[in-house]
Structure 1
Amino acid sequence: MNVAYMTIEGDDIRKLGDILDQSISSYNTNSHIYRDGDTMMIMRECYYMRISSTLMSATILKFIGNNRVEIEQVVSGGKSGALMLSWGSENSEHRFMINNIMEICAENSWKVIKVNPEALRKSLKESMISKFKDKVSDIFN
């Protein structure tokens, strides 16, 4: 199980819930959205072919006033084999949701205050390039 956190600020931040709902609905995954007062929860279930397993994620948005939201994302499952390895499926789901939220924030001039773990700010492509550079530089050092 992996957990990620985000804090976002901006005018009329409550629109994030509706925009995220529309964005996620366009993907072919099983997702359920629950709302109650200042809290919104998005539950997604995705099948990952590379591990022949299903992964579940819960993204909880806690709105604080009209210009701040704290987001917690919990991803679990998607593990296979005797060692129960996720083969990156949990991180892929984190990156999918966090990058989706960050794109929405950029389009609406909202500021991403915090992302934890910080590495999730990078897209999958940026992350892989960075890892490759580190490995190559280790060879020559």
Structure 2
Amino acid sequence: KKAWSAREWFVVRKAEIHRSEDNVLIPYIKMGVEARAQEIKEGKLEDCVLTKPNHPLVKYAEAFTHNFDLIAERKSVVYHLRELAKASILAKYLVDSGVRLDSSWFDLAERVTDVGVLEIPQLWNERWKSKVQVNDGKILEAGGPCH
């Protein structure tokens, strides 16, 4: 069997802006997942849409897409991704339609002066080991943890 390399992409399937009776703009979005094969072309990895219905990643993408809203209810990262997509389509609508907003809309949050630590913790890169010497069920020597 030939080895394969692929990944999943979150995609917006449908994006609309609805207007309520009292003129409130409500973003409506349908998201899904697509399987993309990774192929080497001219020395670079390129994504190609996988279409074979029996491919395991295509099956996973279809199941995820079918249950997207349920997954978003249970996994905050998927929920927040969907909310970000809603904010993006609402912003695009406002820009494309030329809506003029009062400057107070742009000063809703306080200015951040200290952004804190910009390093992403990578605990999975730390490995610990220790040595223990046991004889007849008794610990003879125990070394402390070391990296």
Q: Same fold (TM over 0.5)?
A: no
Q: Which structure dedicates a bigger proportion of its chain to helix?
A: 1
Q: Which structure dedicates a bigger proportion of its chain to strand?
A: 1
Q: TM-score, normalised by structure 1?
A: 0.31
**Structure label with greater radius of gyration:** 2
